[in-house]
Amino acid sequence: MYLKSIELTGFKSFGKKTDIAFASRISSIVGPNGSGKSNVAEAFRFVLGEQSMKSLRSRRGEDLIWGGSPTLPRSNRAGVKVVFDNSTRLLDLDFKEVVVERVVYRDGENEYLLNGTKVRLKDVIRLLAGANIGGSGYQIISQGEADRILNASPRERREMVEDALGLKLYQHKKAESERKLEETAHNIEKTKSLRREIAPHLNFLRSQVQKIEKAREMKEMLAAKLSEYLAREHAWITSEDARLLAQARAEEAELKKLGMLVTEARGKRGGKSNAALQELQKKIVERERKLSDSRRESEKLSRELGRAEAKAEANTVMVEQIVAVPHVRQFAREVSEGISEALRNDDLSSVRVLLLHIRERIHSFVDGLSGAAPDTKEESQQRVETIAGSLGRVQKEETALAQELEALRAKITQVRDAGFAAERDLVELESSVREAQGKLAGVQSARANVATLRQAFEEEVREGIALVGAAIHDWQKAQTEGMSGDDRQAQEKRRREIERLKIKIEESGIGNGDAVVREFNQTKERDEFLGRELGDLERSAASLKDIIIELEKTIDARFTEGLKLINVALHDFFMKLFGGGAAKLEVENPKPHRKRADHELPDDEDSDEEELFDEKEELYAGLSISVHLPRKKVRGLEVLSGGERALTSIALIFSMSQVNPPPFLVLDETDAALDEANSKRYADMIKELGSKSQLIVITHNRATMAAAGELYGVTMGSDGVSQLLSVKLEEAEKVAK
């Protein structure tokens, strides 16, 4: 006994809260037409999650709510609670008792509760399916629907059978696995397409990153080479600068010294020496004049001495004794020259003048001779001695002057020589100055070159920073010992290598590249993530396929087995009801049909029925029924009478219930069309069935009532509210009328 009770509150004609407790394996609900019996059966359908309003004889949710009467106002909600004994864990919940509840509000809103906790419709359906409750609804046979299984299409019929065999749970699982597989396939395609989308970009980024890495390697190489180059260059510039500075200073000092010497030499050459020369010249002129005077005096004294000596010797004195022979010759030459001149001259007056001049000269000479003769010998002697003494002095003076002149001339030569030497020295010094200036200019030009190199060096450092960043400063740490940089050729080679590297880096066209590397890493991570995701998805798809195959096998095996058992039971029930004949469920040949995935669980209870299902084409083998009535030649369902149809349906429903008994069955006037004999047989079968499933049987039939362990009478008063009361069999018949 699983079904403990059902409680209806505001559901259809049950305007007041009504509780029906089921204490017996077979409970019968009786009552007059329109009292609300079928509403009880529908309450079961409703609470078990029925979504079809038609099956609940309504158009919308609101129709299920007590509509009100003059004495009892309408309700805002209709609620049905069904209580299960779960001590044997019929339902997969860890509770001894499970209350399933459904409420519908006037706005059509539905609520589902499990033990008072709101849940989704899906959860309710899944839970009940696990206990072989719900599904195609074959276990709640509504009034007039007993032969639904006969009217159903082969596919619907098969679904009912599958449902009865408890395959619904597997179908759900399979459908869910298929849905997941589809979703997974979709995700696989999506992931693949994402990877395909990423791939060209990733390849592009990869090639960029390779270039960047190469450029980075080149940059590292450049940094190392630059570091050495700059260290050497700096060492060279520093030492060269110092060397040239010292050289410049030395040249400057040399020039200063030479300048002083030039000034000195210029002083020596001019000025003082000129003055000395002038002074000496002046002295020479003066001394020459004095010497000439002395000579004239000496000549005069000599003549006087001659005359004096001649006088002293009186008459006997020869001209030669009075006048010195040179004077006489001089006199004779002058006279002779005068005569010669006169002889050459044709002009008479001029000759006369010349003759006069000669006569005068002769007179003068003769006068000189006659006047010089001394008076006495002593006097004459004395006079001779005096004149001789004067002549001696004058001659001495003359010698002294001649010597002085000689000395002065030597001095002039000496001063002039000294001037020449100074001039030569100056020329030499000036040449040295020019030479020193040339050297200094050379050094200064070399220093300017070094300064240019220093500028170039600083420019290279700046450029280096732009190219390789802070690593460029490593040159300062580089060992500069032994890097005198004197090997300029090697350094030039290094510089050229660096230039080549720079060009290569520039040609690579890659800048810093950090953003590209970051993007590459992100894209790669994303691609790897997608790759892993794809792997997971493919594994999950494979395992889902396995699950589906397994489920299909299980469903197939159970269906084949179950169908066999149903057919055995059907044969048995059919024989009992018809006293012979045969009925059988047969699997049709598979046909393509638009599959409504009605085994899928709806996600949302508010969804329209249409929206719950999607359609797809598949091969489906439905179930047909072959019926062979005893003593009748005709076969087929179409030829059956109403009663025969009802009996066949009952046989089928009961055989299905036998194979996999549901916890309970609700049969709403399934026996309505049976005659008395068949009603008895029906009652027997009810008893048999009751041993396997709990039964709630709505009936007007006495035999059926008699089979029940407890009876409930439903009545409806003038207020239109259905009421329920427990009745005895004798009362039941009365109540039923």
Q: Which stretch binds ligand ATP (CB under 6 A): 36-44, 228-236, 360-368, 370-378?
A: 36-44
Q: Is 35 in the site for ligand ATP (CB under 6 A)?
A: yes
Tell me the closest approach of the beta carbon of residue 680 to ligand ATP, in angstroms: 21
CA gap 34, 669 in Å, rounded: 13
469: left (phi over 0), alpha (psi -120 to 50) or beta: left
CA-CA distance, 690 to 34, in Å (whole number)? 27
Site residue total, ligand ATP (CB under 6 A): 16
Kindly tell me which residue out of 2, 9, 12, 98 binds ligand ATP, with binding defined by CB under 6 A. 12
Which residue, 147 or 162, has its beta carbon nearer to ligand ATP?
147
Neighbouring CB atoms inside 10 A of 260's CB total 11
Q: Identify whether the C-beta of residue 494 lies closer than 8 Å to the C-beta of residue 204.
A: no
To ligand ATP, the closest distance from the beta carbon of 54 in angstroms equals: 14
We find the least distance from the C-beta atom of residue 716 to ligand ATP, in angstroms, to be 7
H or E stretch covering 247: helix 168-269
Helix (H) or strand (E) holding 80: strand 77-85
Q: Which is nearer to ligand ATP, 8 or 317 (CB)?
A: 8
Q: Which is nearer to ligand ATP, 35 or 227 (CB)?
A: 35
**Which residues neighbour 331 within 8 Å (Cβ) at sequence distance 6 or greater?**
323, 361, 365
Q: Is residue 380 a contact residue for ligand ATP (CB under 6 A)?
A: no
Question: Judged by CB, which is closer to ligand ATP: 29, or 305?
Answer: 29
- Degrees, nearest 5: CA angle 55-58-64: 105
Do residues 41 and 144 make contact, with C-beta atoms less than 8 angstroms apart? no
Contacts (CB under 6 A) with ligand ATP, residues 115-174: 143
Instruction: Provide φ and ψ at 95, rounded to 5°.
Output: -135, 150
- Under the criterion CB under 6 A, does residue 389 sit at the interface with ligand ATP? no
Is position 55 an interface residue for ligand ATP (rule: CB under 6 A)? Answer: no
Which range, of 28-36, 103-111, 462-470, 569-577, touches ligand ATP by CB under 6 A? Answer: 28-36
Q: Which stretch binds ligand ATP (CB under 6 A): 35-43, 265-273, 420-428, 492-500?
A: 35-43
Nearest partner of 176 among 540, 606, 601, 607, judged by Cα: 601
Q: Is 227 in the site for ligand ATP (CB under 6 A)?
A: no
Phi, psi (rounded to 5 degrees) for 104: -125, 140
Sole binder of ligand ATP in the list 17, 19, 23, 34 (CB under 6 A): 34
According to DSSP, the β-strands at 664-668 and 694-698 are parallel
Query: Is 92 in contact with 179 (CB distance < 8 Å)?
Result: no
Residue 62 beta carbon to ligand ATP: minimum distance, rounded to whole angstroms: 8
What's the distance, Cα to Cα, between the start and end of the chain in Å? 30
Angle of the 168-269 helix axis to the 514-578 helix axis, nearest 10: 180
Please give the full DSSP string across 15-57, using - where no structure is assigned: -S-EEEE--SSEEEEE--TTSSHHHHHHHHHHHTT---TGGGT
**Token pair of 57, please?**
């004889």
Is residue 28 part of the contact set for ligand ATP (CB under 6 A)? no
Interface of this chain with ligand ATP, residues 228 to 287, rule: CB under 6 A:
none
Q: Which residues, numbered 674-733, are part of the site for ligand ATP (CB under 6 A)?
A: 720
Of the candidates 4, 25, 37, 287, which one interacts with ligand ATP according to CB under 6 A? 37
491 near ligand ATP (CB under 6 A): no
What track of x and - describes contact with ligand ATP for positions 57 through 76 (by CB under 6 A)?
------x-xxx---------
Closer to ligand ATP by CB, 42 or 163: give it. Answer: 42
**Closer to ligand ATP at the Cβ: 68 or 442?**
68
Binding-residue pattern over the window 617 to 646 for ligand ATP, x denoting contact by CB under 6 A: ------------------------------
Report residue 200 as tokens.
């060209």
CA angle 468, 474, 478 (to 5 degrees): 140
Give the range of 30-38, 432-440, 505-513, 596-604 binding ligand ATP by CB under 6 A.
Answer: 30-38
Tell me whether residue 107 or residue 346 sits nearer to ligand ATP (CB atom): 107
Q: Which of 25, 28, 36, 391 binds ligand ATP (CB under 6 A)?
A: 36
In sign, the C-alpha dihedral spanning 23, 28, 31, 35 is: positive
- Name the minimum Å distance from CB 20 to ligand ATP: 14
Distance CA 118, CA 113 (A): 4
Closer to ligand ATP by Cβ: residue 65 or 310: 65
Q: Is 18 in the site for ligand ATP (CB under 6 A)?
A: no
Shortest distance, CB of residue 704 to ligand ATP, whole angstroms? 14
Minimal distance in Å, beta carbon 59 to ligand ATP?
11
Q: How many Cα atoms sit within 13 Å of 294 on the Cβ side?
A: 17
The least CB distance from residue 669 to ligand ATP, in Å, is 6
Helix residue ranges, H only, 270-315: 272-312
- Kindly state whether residue 112 participates in binding ligand ATP, applying the rule CB under 6 A: no
- Side chain identity, residue 721: V
Supply the minimum distance, in Å, between the C-beta of residue 672 and ligand ATP: 9
Task: Enumerate binding residues for ligand ATP (CB under 6 A).
Answer: 12-13, 31, 33-39, 63, 65-67, 143, 720
